[in-house]
Chains A and B, each alone.
Chain A
Amino acid sequence: MSDPEDDGDGHSDAESGSGPPDAVDEERERGRSESGRPGTASETGSVSADPEAGGTADHREAGSASADRDAEGTAGETGAESVSGDTEAGATAGEPDAGARAGEPEAGAAVLDEEELGVSRELDGRVRVRWLVGPTIGSVVVATLLAGVLPPVARRVGVDFGFVPGGRAGVFASVVVVCLGLAFLWVLCYYRTWRYEVRDDSLYLTRGVVTRVQTIVPYVRVQHVDTRRSPVERLLGLSSLVVYTAGSRGADVTIPGLTDDRAADLQRRLKALAIASEEEDAV
Chain B
Amino acid sequence: MSRDDDTRGETDGPGADSGDRAGAGVARETTFDGPRKLHPLTVPYRLAQQAIGPVLFVFFAGVPSLTAMFGPRGGVLALVGVVSLAAAIVGYTVASYRRYEYELTEDTFDIRSGVFSRREREIPLRRAQNVDVSQSLVQRILGIATVGVETAGGGQTEANLQYIGEDDAEALRAAVSRRRRSDSPEPPESELAEEVFAVTERELLALAVVSTDFRLVSLLFFGGSLFGPQAFSFIGEQLFARPDSLLGLILGPVAGVAGVVVLGLLSGLINAARYYGFSLERDDEELRYRRGLFQKYSGTIPLSKVQSLTIRENVLARRLGYAALYIETAGRAGAGGDSGGGSQAAIPLAERERVRELARTIEPADLGGFERPPKRARQRYAARYTTALLVLTGVFYGVSTALEFQSYWWLPLVGLVLVPVAAHLKWANLGYALREDHAVTRTGFWSRQTKVVPYHRVQTTVSSETVFQRRRDLGTVVVDTAGAYSLGGNDAKAVDVDARTADEIREAVPDSLSRSLRRRRGQQDRGTRVDTTHGTDTASGTDAAD
**Residues of A that sit less than 8 Å from B by CB:** 201-202, 208, 210-218, 220-221, 245-250, 252-253, 278, 280-283
CB distance from A9 to the nearest CB of B (A): 38
Cross-chain contact B462 with A249 (CB below 8 angstroms): yes
Given A247-B480, A250-B459, do A211 and B510 touch, yes or no (CB 8 Å)? no
Q: How far is the CA of A214 from the CA of B506 in the complex (A)?
A: 8
Secondary structure call for the A interface: mixed
**Interface bits B456-467 vs A (CB < 8 Å: 1, else 0):** 101111111111
Cross-chain contact A214 with B463 (CB below 8 angstroms): yes
Complex contacts, A220 vs chain B, CB 8 Å = 513-514, 517
Q: From residue 474 to 513 of chain B, which have CB atoms closer than 8 A to chain A? A: 478, 480-483, 486-487, 491, 503, 506-507, 510, 513
Given A216-B507, A280-B524, do A248 and B480 touch, yes or no (CB 8 Å)? yes
Residue among B456, B459, B464, B507 making CB contact with A208, cutoff 8 Å: B464
Q: What are 21 A-B contacts with C-beta separation under 8 Å? A: A208-B464, A210-B467, A212-B466, A212-B470, A215-B461, A216-B460, A216-B462, A218-B459, A218-B510, A218-B513, A218-B514, A220-B513, A220-B514, A246-B152, A246-B459, A247-B460, A248-B487, A249-B460, A283-B127, A283-B152, A283-B330
Residue among A208, A249, A282 making CB contact with B480, cutoff 8 Å: A249
Residue of B nearest to A199 (CB): B510
The answer, yes or no, to whether B520 is at the interface (CB within 8 Å) is yes
Q: How far is the CA of A174 from the CA of B503 in the complex (A)?
A: 43
The answer, yes or no, to whether B198 is at the interface (CB within 8 Å) is no
The answer, yes or no, to whether B530 is at the interface (CB within 8 Å) is yes
Cross-chain contact B460 with A245 (CB below 8 angstroms): yes
Cross-chain contact A213 with B517 (CB below 8 angstroms): no
Residue of A nearest to B463 (CB): A214
The answer, yes or no, to whether B39 is at the interface (CB within 8 Å) is no
Residue among A201, A211, A218, A280 making CB contact with B460, cutoff 8 Å: A218
**6 shortest A-B CB distances, which residue pairs?**
A247-B459, A247-B480, A246-B482, A283-B152, A213-B464, A211-B466
Cross-chain contact B514 with A248 (CB below 8 angstroms): no
The answer, yes or no, to whether B305 is at the interface (CB within 8 Å) is yes
Question: Chain B CB within 10 Å — which of A214, A217, A248 has the most?
Answer: A248
Q: How far is the CA of A278 from the CA of B524 in the complex (A)?
A: 11
Complex contacts, B467 vs chain A, CB 8 Å = 210-211
Residue of A nearest to B151 (CB): A283
Complex contacts, B514 vs chain A, CB 8 Å = 201, 218, 220
Known: A249-B491, A283-B330, A283-B482. 13 other contacts (CB 8 A): A201-B514, A208-B464, A210-B467, A211-B464, A211-B466, A213-B463, A216-B460, A218-B513, A221-B459, A247-B482, A248-B487, A280-B524, A280-B530
CB distance from A215 to the nearest CB of B (A): 5
Residue among A214, A246, A253 making CB contact with B464, cutoff 8 Å: A214
Given A250-B459, A278-B517, do A216 and B510 touch, yes or no (CB 8 Å)? yes
The answer, yes or no, to whether B435 is at the interface (CB within 8 Å) is no
Cross-chain contact B517 with A281 (CB below 8 angstroms): yes
Complex contacts, A247 vs chain B, CB 8 Å = 459-460, 480-482, 486
CB distance from A216 to the nearest CB of B (A): 5
Complex contacts, A248 vs chain B, CB 8 Å = 480-483, 486-487, 491
Cross-chain contact A212 with B465 (CB below 8 angstroms): yes
CB distance from B166 to the nearest CB of A (A): 30
The answer, yes or no, to whether B521 is at the interface (CB within 8 Å) is yes
Cross-chain contact A214 with B127 (CB below 8 angstroms): no
Complex contacts, A218 vs chain B, CB 8 Å = 458-460, 510, 513-514
Residue among B127, B487, B513, B520 making CB contact with A280, cutoff 8 Å: B520
Complex contacts, B461 vs chain A, CB 8 Å = 215-216
CB distance from B477 to the nearest CB of A (A): 9
Q: How far is the CA of A272 from the CA of B243 in the complex (A)?
A: 77
Residue among B127, B466, B487, B510 making CB contact with A202, cutoff 8 Å: B510
Residue of A nearest to B513 (CB): A218
Q: How far is the CA of A202 from the CA of B530 in the complex (A)?
A: 24
Q: How far is the CA of A217 from the CA of B480 in the complex (A)?
A: 10
Cross-chain contact A221 with B460 (CB below 8 angstroms): yes
Q: From residue 69 to 88 of chain B, which have CB atoms closer than 8 A to chain A? A: none
Residue of B nearest to A282 (CB): B127
CB distance from B34 to the nearest CB of A (A): 29
CB distance from B149 to the nearest CB of A (A): 15
Complex contacts, B459 vs chain A, CB 8 Å = 217-218, 221, 245-247, 250
Residue of B nearest to A245 (CB): B459
Residue of A nearest to B530 (CB): A280
Cross-chain contact A216 with B330 (CB below 8 angstroms): no
Complex contacts, A280 vs chain B, CB 8 Å = 517, 520-521, 524, 530
Residue of B nearest to A211 (CB): B466
